[in-house]
């Protein structure tokens, strides 16, 4: 019982024939203005809602309201609220562009994939708060497959390949999670609170207080540096063996 990819019963031959005759006379054809509410529409609206109002505001009722239906209806297309989140999350991963596998250097491709991965999550900060679930959607799997494949061309295989791919994935995920968490809406207030907290205890956390709050604002640079370290290590291992 997959998704009912049912086509709205709108595009009948009758309609098309009339349109062929005289497009302008055709009544707006009351295009069943709410196309019968597909799983796709639900997920799309869920993502919009999450982007605009955040995870806490995602409610079956609110979601239904935005879709112009009753909340009960959602449960025909989806079994639980978690389903909605699973689908929305995988949709976010779908935004990650797969690098054109033409580049001869695996490192270039892997870097591009990881950066895109991170960017997608940061475009939808709520996604990082929702990662504690098995990631088995088709879009994640496709990206993971790409990562594995590209590392395979670097000469890795078996458990080592698996471990290195996981290491990269875990690094992006952890980084995005920490950044999205540390960068709430009221960034200014949060930062000031953190700084004050640290300064007040600068005796206990001297190094921390000196460097500033745990994480600065040069998120991109910091991430890139860590990724380079990791990839340096990986590359060094690609040679041997």
Partner DNA sequence: CCATCACTGGATCAATGATCCGGTGAATCG
Partner DNA sequence: CGATTCACCGGATCATTGATCCAGTGATGG
Instruction: Find the part of the chain contacting DNA (CB under 7 A) among 57-65, 117-125, 142-150, 192-200.
Output: 57-65
| 211 contact, one of DNA, its own copies, none, CB 5-8 Å limit per kind | its own copies
One symbol per residue from 187 to 216: x for binding its own copies (CB under 8 A), - otherwise; what is it?
---x---x--xx--x--xxxxx--xx-xxx
CB of 166 to its own copies, least distance (A): 5
Residue 231: name its binding partner from its own copies, DNA, none (Cβ under 5 to 8 Å by kind).
its own copies
- What phi, psi does 34 have (nearest 5°)? -100, 95
What part of residues 220-239 is at the interface with its own copies (CB under 8 A)?
221-223, 225-234, 236-237
CA atoms within 13 A on the CB side of 227: 25
d(CA 198, CA 204): 9
Rounded to 10 degrees, what is the CA torsion of 58, 62, 64, 70? Answer: 140
Calculate helix-pair angle for 158-182, 219-239, nearest 10 degrees: 170
Q: Which stretch binds DNA (CB under 7 A): 68-76, 103-111, 165-173, 233-241?
A: 68-76
d(CA 64, CA 18): 35
Do 32 and 8 form a contact (C-beta atoms < 8 A)? yes
Q: Identify which of residues 75 and 219 has a Cβ nearer to its own copies in the complex.
A: 219
Cα–Cα distances (Å) from 59 to 67, 129, 182, 226, in that order, read 12, 16, 24, 37
Assess 197 for contact with DNA (CB under 7 A).
no
Contact call for residue 37 and DNA (CB under 7 A): yes
Nearer to its own copies, 10 or 208 (CB): 208
> By C-alpha distance, which of 19, 15, 74, 72 is closest to 41?
74
* Pick 37 or 55: Cβ nearer its own copies: 55
Contact flag: residue 154 with DNA (CB under 7 A): no
CA dist 98 and 120 (Å) reads: 12
- Rule CB under 7 A: say whether 11 interacts with DNA: yes
Residue 130 in contact with DNA, rule: CB under 7 A? no
Question: Does residue 131 interact with its own copies by CB under 8 A?
Answer: yes
Footprint on this chain of DNA (rule: CB under 7 A)? 4-7, 9-12, 34, 36-37, 57-62, 64, 68-73, 75-77, 79-82
């Amino acid at each position: 019982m997959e998704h009912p990819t049912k086509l709205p019963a709108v595009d009948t031959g009758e309609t098309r024939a009339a349109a062929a005759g005289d497009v302008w006379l055709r009544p707006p054809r009351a295009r069943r203005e709410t196309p019968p509410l597909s799983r796709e529409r639900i997920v799309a609206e869920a993502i919009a809602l999450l982007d605009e109002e955040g995870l806490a505001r995602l409610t079956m009722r609110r979601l239904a309201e935005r879709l112009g239906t009753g909340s009960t209806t959602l449960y025909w297309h989806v079994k639980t609220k978690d389903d909605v989140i699973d689908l929305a999350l995988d949709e976010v991963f779908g935004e990650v562009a797969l690098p054109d596998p033409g580049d001869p250097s695996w490192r270039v491709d892997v870097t591009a994939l990881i950066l895109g991965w991170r960017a997608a999550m940061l475009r939808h900060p709520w996604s990082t708060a929702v990662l504690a679930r098995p990631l088995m959607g088709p879009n994640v799997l496709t990206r993971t497959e790409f990562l594995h494949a590209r590392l395979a061309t670097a000469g890795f295989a078996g458990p080592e390949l698996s471990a290195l791919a996981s290491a990269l994935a875990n690094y992006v995920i952890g980084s995005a999670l920490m950044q999205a968490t540390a960068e709430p809406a009221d960034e200014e207030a949060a930062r000031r609170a953190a700084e004050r907290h640290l300064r007040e205890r600068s005796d206990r956390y001297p190094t921390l207080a000196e460097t500033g709050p745990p994480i600065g604002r040069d998120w991109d640079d910091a991430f890139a540096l860590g990724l380079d370290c990791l990839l340096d290590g990986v590359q060094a291992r690609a040679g041997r063996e």
